[in-house]
Chains A and B, each alone.
Chain A
Amino acid sequence: MFPHMDAAHQQQVLQLFVRHQARIRGFIVALLGDFAAAEDVLQETFLVVQRKADTFAANSNFIAWAFQIARFQVMKAQAQRRSAAHRFSDEVIEALAASAPALPFDEAKLAALPGCLEQLAPQARRIVELCYQHEHKPREIARLLGWTAAAVSVTLTRARAALRDCVERRLAKETP
């Protein structure tokens, strides 16, 4: 519709991206299951958002629009992966993207997490840090700690469950 890109509009779109980038990253991380690859896809998504800013209608749902771009970038990245292992088909990605919550990744839950992390046992906390802060895969963590990969996976699963419960409990307490 607009032959020339409106610079102010584009600036606004990029600000929206910056504001919601944690959500967009989360959406990509969920679909890819790989933090490093997600960071690359997030960059690609940013570049496309920048290029296509003029196709975003002001006051419409930015997250939905950005997720749509991110979804295509995830498919593109999947197609470029060498191995077929751990790769959702486009069909699965579409089905998942269509059922993604409108406003995923709750800020209140994020705020409750640090307190819950404090309550983890030291070993579990260490493993959670290695996984989420240092972005090691369970296999690498196992090598670093001299554990079996299965033991690390189980610890991670339990830690995630404990943290999920703790966050739910804290939020329940806060709401009267």
Chain B
Amino acid sequence: MNDERFAYLLDQHFNGELTDAECAELSAHLLHSAADRARFWDRAETHVLLHEALQRQTAQPEARPARAWWQPAAWWAAAACVAALCFAWSWWRSHPAAPVALAEPEVAVVMQMAEARWPAGAELRPGDRLRPGLLRLEAGLVRLRFFSGASVVLQGPLELDLKAPNEAVVLRGKVTASVPPVAEGFTLATVGWRMIDRGTVFGVNVPTSGNAELHVLKGKVDLRANAAAAQARSLTTGQAASLGNDGTLVDVPSQPETFPSENDVFARAATQQSDRLVGWRESSRRAAQEASLLLYYDFENADHEIGIIRNLAPAATKASDGVLIGGEWAEGRWPGKNAVAFRRVGDLIRTLPARQLPAATFVVWVRFDASFEQRQTLLLSPKVGPGQVYWLVWPEPRRGPAAALAFVKTDQAGRDRYALAHGVLTAGGVGRWLQLAVVADAARGKVSHYLNGVRVSEQDFGDSLAMDLNELVIGNWGYTREPSSFVGRMDELAIYRRALAAEEIVRLYADGKP
């Protein structure tokens, strides 16, 4: 076979771009010639090593959230892992390429976003830290603060390659940079140009096809073309230029209004959040009518000063209202939504639901504000003995840095039975609003944990004793001196007298997602 043709076909294969006909042609040769098979592996080596070498340079879990724990693809594997082996698995997941990969420093923080749409599995939220790497935004507005101090508004569809705390490359989309004096020198680049801030607000637009444009809204920007022959230039307030990849530069009319401003993000984020809050209120009113609710706190119908949280479940008794001891009122998932902030060891809510339940579902919206290195109690029935339950964050330092969710019940013989979802709470989850749920189904003898609407574990509990929910403590561990209290915020809690189906929990997640 013609060497050049064979090399071309191999390249097409490794590029993932073989056509049907080319695939048939390549296959025939690979089947019939041992020499061609040897050449296949020879070429494959370069391809594979390049991938390995460049992946080792990446190590940017936040900028490539595909590897993060909240991505659904990771779930089934985590759920499938056998208890004793989870450590190896999670170690492997968290070290995708190199056993000792030094993570590159973070370059920027996500500040606000409005109607942001991200690629599936790569959702970012305010507060997320970004490492060097490619950031993709499908639609909407997002504001980043680089660690140099530069503030950048992104408008989707956009692809931005984050390089350093003071540098990024715009591959596609619209970006407005507001650079305070402390970050002077902040640089945005395109494929052909570098734009170096000299104290400014400026916009860069890289369309899908055609030239990039630079508009200086205020101040001064130095321009350098990558093409060697081209001249350096500076643009000042009210100037704009169209930039060719070959280094050509043409002045164009300035259109500052076509670039998104910081105020656009603030205003649209506020509108979107108040819309989400209104939407949640509606679905919350519907959810409160569910007949099987034992307890439903939305933390909205509360007497703040006296510290009574009303149980909104149908046929709720006064005794099942929550009494807040310690704790503080704080902002919940959206501005205008109430939450309780638990900070100190003694902060807790007490209530008397007065029921023994063979099956129950617990659903809560919480934000953890401390790391998962300590045990944290979400709720427990304080009376020691058969039927006692507790639900908590369960650190497992010997397995790895991620903590488990645990649901525990004391059986007839006085032994604790555990249902654990290993390794589901990682550092990335701190500071985010999360929906946690436990379905304890005595009839099937199963206990399932859910995180953000996704089932992360299902275990045979091997015990059908009813749960003692006569009395409940929320947010604290009643007995020991060792601090096991929840540190964070809670803004919705529901307990059902039956096992909810997976679809019901997903729906609750969708209704309450911040």
Q: Are A11 and B88 in contact, with the CB atoms below 8 A?
A: yes
Q: Are A96 and B17 in contact, with the CB atoms below 8 A?
A: no
Of residues 144 through 161 on chain A, the ones whose CB sits less than 8 Å from some CB of chain B are: 144-146, 149, 153, 156-157, 160
- Shortest CB-to-CB span from B167 to chain A, Å, is 14
Q: Are A128 and B50 in contact, with the CB atoms below 8 A?
A: yes
Which of B33-41, B293-301, B414-422, B476-484 has 4 or more CB atoms under 8 Å from chain A?
Answer: B33-41
Q: Given the known inter-chain contacts A88-B23, A144-B159, please indicate yes or no for A156 contacting B208, CB distance below 8 A.
A: no
Q: Which residue of B lies closest to A99 (CB)?
A: B37
Q: Are B92 and A21 in contact, with the CB atoms below 8 A?
A: yes
Q: Are B84 and A11 in contact, with the CB atoms below 8 A?
A: yes
Q: Are A163 and B52 in contact, with the CB atoms below 8 A?
A: no
Chain A contacts for B44, CB-based, 8 A? 26, 29-30, 104
Chain B contacts for A91, CB-based, 8 A? 31
State the CA gap A34–B16 with chains docked (Å): 6
> Is residue A1 contacting chain B, with contact meaning CB distance below 8 A?
no
Q: Given the known inter-chain contacts A11-B84, A126-B191, A132-B55, please indicate yes or no for A99 contacting B89, CB distance below 8 A.
A: no
Q: Are A156 and B15 in contact, with the CB atoms below 8 A?
A: yes
State the CA gap A51–B457 with chains docked (Å): 18
Q: Given the known inter-chain contacts A85-B18, A110-B49, A133-B55, please indicate yes or no for A30 contacting B27, CB distance below 8 A.
A: no
Among B54, B171, B209, the one with the most A-chain Cβ atoms within 10 Å of its Cβ is B54
Q: Given the known inter-chain contacts A138-B17, A144-B172, please indicate yes or no for A113 contacting B50, CB distance below 8 A.
A: yes
Among B34, B82, B97, B133, the one with the most A-chain Cβ atoms within 10 Å of its Cβ is B82
- Shortest CB-to-CB span from A69 to chain B, Å, is 16
Q: Given the known inter-chain contacts A14-B88, A30-B47, A122-B226, please indicate yes or no for A99 contacting B34, CB distance below 8 A.
A: yes
- A105's partner among B15, B52, B55, B210 (CB-CB below 8 A) is B52
Chain B contacts for A104, CB-based, 8 A? 41, 44-45, 48
> Is residue A137 contacting chain B, with contact meaning CB distance below 8 A?
yes
State the CA gap A100–B73 with chains docked (Å): 30
Q: Are B27 and A88 in contact, with the CB atoms below 8 A?
A: yes
Chain B contacts for A144, CB-based, 8 A? 159, 171-172
State the CA gap A95–B16 with chains docked (Å): 20
Q: Are B51 and A132 in contact, with the CB atoms below 8 A?
A: yes
Q: Given the known inter-chain contacts A109-B49, A156-B15, A160-B50, please indicate yes or no for A143 contacting B20, CB distance below 8 A.
A: no
> Is residue A84 contacting chain B, with contact meaning CB distance below 8 A?
yes
Q: Given A50-B82, A133-B57, list of 6 further CB < 8 A pairs?
A: A14-B88, A29-B51, A85-B20, A134-B134, A149-B17, A167-B49
State the CA gap A46–B77 with chains docked (Å): 10
Q: Are A109 and B89 in contact, with the CB atoms below 8 A?
A: no
The 6 closest A-B pairs by CB, nearest first: A26-B48, A30-B44, A133-B54, A99-B37, A132-B54, A86-B18
Q: Are B50 and A95 in contact, with the CB atoms below 8 A?
A: no
Chain A contacts for B13, CB-based, 8 A? 33, 86
Q: Are B49 and A113 in contact, with the CB atoms below 8 A?
A: yes
- A-contact 0/1 string along B150-177, CB 8 Å cutoff: 0000000001010000000001100000
- B-contact 0/1 string along A61-74, CB 8 Å cutoff: 00000000000000
Q: Which residue of B lies closest to A138 (CB)?
A: B15
> Is residue B284 contacting chain A, with contact meaning CB distance below 8 A?
no
Chain B contacts for A110, CB-based, 8 A? 49, 52-53
Q: Are A11 and B85 in contact, with the CB atoms below 8 A?
A: yes
Q: Are B47 and A43 in contact, with the CB atoms below 8 A?
A: no
Q: Are A153 and B191 in contact, with the CB atoms below 8 A?
A: no
Interface range, A side: 35 or more
> Is residue B148 contacting chain A, with contact meaning CB distance below 8 A?
no
Chain B contacts for A132, CB-based, 8 A? 50-51, 53-55
State the CA gap A160–B85 with chains docked (Å): 39
A sample of 5 inter-chain contacts (CB < 8 A) reads A30-B14, A33-B13, A84-B20, A144-B159, A146-B210
> Is residue A117 contacting chain B, with contact meaning CB distance below 8 A?
yes
Q: Which residue of A lies closest to B77 (CB)?
A: A43
- B-contact 0/1 string along A86-112, CB 8 Å cutoff: 111101100110011100111001100
- Shortest CB-to-CB span from A29 to chain B, Å, is 5
- Shortest CB-to-CB span from A91 to chain B, Å, is 6
Q: Which residue of B lies closest to A140 (CB)?
A: B159
State the CA gap A64–B453 with chains docked (Å): 40
Chain B contacts for A29, CB-based, 8 A? 44, 47-48, 51
Q: Are A47 and B77 in contact, with the CB atoms below 8 A?
A: yes
- A-contact 0/1 string along B60-102, CB 8 Å cutoff: 0000000000000100010011101100110110000101000
Q: Which residue of B lies closest to A34 (CB)?
A: B16
Among B13, B34, B210, the one with the most A-chain Cβ atoms within 10 Å of its Cβ is B13
> Is residue B356 contacting chain A, with contact meaning CB distance below 8 A?
no
- Shortest CB-to-CB span from A128 to chain B, Å, is 7
- A96's partner among B30, B88, B89, B161 (CB-CB below 8 A) is B30
> Is residue B58 contacting chain A, with contact meaning CB distance below 8 A?
yes
State the CA gap A156–B11 with chains docked (Å): 9
Q: Are B40 and A85 in contact, with the CB atoms below 8 A?
A: no
